[in-house]
Structure 1
Amino acid sequence: MEHGGDVYTEGILKGRELLDFSSNINPLGVPSSFKKNVDEALKNVERYPDVEYRKVKYIIRKYLDFSENYFGNNKCNGELSLDDSDIVLGNGASEIIDLVISCFNSVCIVVPSFIEYEKDALKWGCSVSYSSLTDNMDYDYEDIKLKIKNADALILGNPNNPNGGIIDKDKFYEIVNFCNKNHKTIIIDEAFVEFTGKIGCSFLREMKQFRCIFIVRALTKFFALPGIRFGYGVCKDVKLMDKIRTKQNPWNINCFAETAAEYVLQDECYMDNSLKWIEMERKFMLESLKAIPVVEKTYDTYSNFVLCKLGDMSCEKLYRKCLNAGILIRKCSNFRKLDDRFIRLAIKDRSRNQRLLSVLGNI
């Protein structure tokens, strides 16, 4: 199992229903705004999508302008002034990540992180270097400064997967400035950024000023639409964006993904409810996990998952025990720089969180 969310191997294919804590999807489920309008997509299945995706890009531009104030706690003034040329659409964030990495000869990856960064880099023949998080799972900004000097691009998550940490903008500014002056690109994966709430940690505003910043977003996590496969990249580097587009096939976004984006990115009620849920349940999970004997340490998170270090039990053994109880967790031994004592747990609604905690507490 390379990723979370594999409910097939031990679940569906064996006729068994599992409670999936390995997949970091919003437990509020698919927004009703999409469900109510899915017939609109059905009406469009007999024709090709607009190859330029002009309506979808317009919706994304509106959403990003809105989100800068909404998730930034109304601290930002003015619009981002994005053009359609500043947006590239992908079949999930994974396609965007893959394509942008393919544009470079050498990359520096902050680890542990989403394992597809490294897999994509190696697939495209990139020279890869690594900057490791500290023991407390914080970014090592001095090490990043050193490593980026010998790479064309830097890749990191904000929040980062699997630990949920966010970038300290004040400490990161020197790196951004260096990359901008020296024609290097910073790929910031913000697939989980909405879960951080209204603290304004996105780099959208900085992207407007620094063309070196490339931001990756998706509908997958916050809007609970992993099956739709809709992601997008945002950047002011015209040459890089054009290079990515030349590598893409036309009509890579289907009409259901188009319709989903149109409605969920304007669903403020769903966003309000999601932020109320994550603020309450994240605090509950972090506090509750501290009382679980099998868990030696939990790491602070700004996302909808928690990285845990186990005591005397391996992640494989705990995985099997949880699986026997009908629960799927994420083993983290395949993350670079983590060993078999680490697991990642999604944060869900109260009843499901309590079921997980009960199972863990009895181990």
Structure 2
Amino acid sequence: MSQNLDRLEALPLRENLRGMSPYGAPQLDVAVALNTNENTHPVPQPVVDAITERVSRAAGQLNRYPDREFTELRTALAAYLDHGLTADNLWAANGSNEILQQILQTFGGPGRSVLSFVPTYSMYPLLASGTGTKFIAGQRAEDFTLTAESAAKQVREHKPDVVILCSPNNPTGTALGLDVVEAVYEAAEESNSMVIVDEAYAEFARFGTPSALTLLEGRPRLIVTRTMSKAFALAGARLGYFAAAPEVTDAIRLVRLPYHLSAVSQATALAALEHSDVLLSTVEDIKMQRDRIVDNLKRLGLEPAESDSNFVFYGGMENAQQMWQNLLDQGVLVRDVGIAGHLRVTAGTEDETTAFLAAVENYLQQK
């Protein structure tokens, strides 16, 4: 390993990449994997059949490039989101990470900056580095909350070219109020900054939690990103998308790779959207297991955050690393997110949730 690192360092890397580590969660062979916020429910067979049929049709034309504009998919995504959106408002790519990368390629880059409020999704600084964009780590309160006043003040102070708001936030799981988005957008007008609201987990939000999609009209520098990896249980398909003003999608076309969204990806996503009711039928069960985790961790004396996502961020243990290892020894893999005294667990199926809670209780009884 050290020899490989030496060889890596001998290459003419960009200076800002030296010493960095690639993004990645452990992929271990365990009975219960609850560390990457996947939808652990299998894709329902009717959806598998629909995807197979659409992909089979696409396979007969793989000698040709796919629809570069993926118009049918953009139309279907607009219909799914509703809010008066049309195909002109939609864009898609290979996962929401590529969406964010394309946005930073367009509006970030050398001499420009992106502000986000930590702790938040750990890919943001990596995407910034990969696009030569300076990453500015904004601050949250001690309890990881973010107020409209604080967020707007930091935007005015730093004057970033791009602001990313993660809502529900990863790893804390909490959604932002629309007052935060509105305040940030208003503050960003002074520096003509783009504002991104990353809503990867929006379908799991608690009842009454509003989406930033409601704020798009009249805000040409606002982008709301989504994914089909979570609620749609299609993490393996890699399909992310965003909604914004039509001129934003035109701007992204300047940096996208030719035919970046394969015919297979388009076919898979279209089949999934045609059966969105079936795929999203697991969301309520996941929310139930999430709330069950919160309630039971409280009962066990731990400190879980109320969550609007499909995972729970919790603290209150004496030694988070020790608990992580103990749970792994019991066959349950959760996520060490690098925040002292805290871990994160994905809400899985009822059986997976039961296994996690039993492992936590067993660990605490040993203390």
TM-score by length of 1: 0.85
- Give the alignment of 1:25-40 within 5 angstroms: 25-37=38-50, 38-40=52-54
Between 1:351-360 and 1:119-128, the stretch displaced more is 119-128
Which of 265, 268, 271 is the matching residue for 1:260? 268
Question: 2:80 maps to which residue?
Answer: 63
Decide whether the 8 Å contact of 2:165 with 2:197 is kept in 1: yes
Pairwise CA RMSD of aligned residues? 2.2
CA distance in 2, matches of 1:353, 1:97: 31
Decide whether the 8 Å contact of 1:179 with 1:212 is kept in 2: no
Offset of residue 253 of structure 1: 1.9
What per-residue deviation string (whole Å, max 9, x for no partner) do you get for residues 8-48 of structure 1?
xx32xxxxx43111021223322444301112202212323
Unaligned 5+ runs, structure 1: 12-16, 69-78
Question: 2:9 maps to which residue?
Answer: none
Which of 110, 116, 128 is the matching residue for 1:121? 128
Question: 2:299 maps to which residue?
Answer: 291
Which of 119, 140, 147 is the matching residue for 1:133? 140
Dislocated runs of 4+, deviation >4 Å: 1-5
- 1:312 and 2:318 are equivalent in the alignment: yes
Offset of residue 187 of structure 1: 0.9
Question: 2:26 maps to which residue?
Answer: 6
Decide whether the 8 Å contact of 1:152 with 1:185 is kept in 2: yes
- Give the alignment of 1:123-162 within 5 angstroms: 123-149=130-156, 150-162=159-171
Offset of residue 269 of structure 1: 3.1
Give the direction of change, closer, same or farther, for the CA distance of 1:324–1:231 in structure 2 (3 Å limit). Answer: same
Question: 1:362 maps to which residue?
Answer: 362
- Give the alignment of 1:1-363 within 5 angstroms: 6-7=26-27, 10-11=28-29, 17-37=30-50, 38-45=52-59, 46-47=61-62, 48-65=65-82, 68=83, 79-80=84-85, 82-84=86-88, 86-102=89-105, 103-104=107-108, 105-149=112-156, 150-180=159-189, 182-196=191-205, 198-236=207-245, 238=247, 240-270=248-278, 273-292=281-300, 295=302, 297-315=303-321, 317-333=322-338, 338-339=339-340, 341-363=341-363
Give the direction of change, closer, same or farther, for the CA distance of 1:303–1:2 in structure 2 (3 Å limit). Answer: farther
What per-residue deviation string (whole Å, max 9, x for no partner) do you get for residues 186-228 of structure 1?
1111111011155252111211221121111111011111111
Give the direction of change, closer, same or farther, for the CA distance of 1:97–1:172 in structure 2 (3 Å limit). Answer: closer
Decide whether the 8 Å contact of 1:107 with 1:151 is kept in 2: yes
Decide whether the 8 Å contact of 2:287 with 2:310 is kept in 1: no
CA distance in 2, matches of 1:230, 1:322: 32
Decide whether the 8 Å contact of 1:218 with 1:232 is kept in 2: yes
CA distance in 1, matches of 2:271, 2:24: 27
TM-score by length of 2: 0.84
CA distance in 2, matches of 1:34, 1:257: 14
What per-residue deviation string (whole Å, max 9, x for no partner) do you get for residues 63-111 of structure 1?
111xx5xxxxxxxxxx23x343x22221111101112122221111111
Offset of residue 277 of structure 1: 0.9
Give the direction of change, closer, same or farther, for the CA distance of 1:180–1:270 in structure 2 (3 Å limit). Answer: farther
Query: Aligned pairs, how many?
Result: 333
CA distance in 2, matches of 1:180, 1:52: 30
Decide whether the 8 Å contact of 1:18 with 1:326 is kept in 2: yes
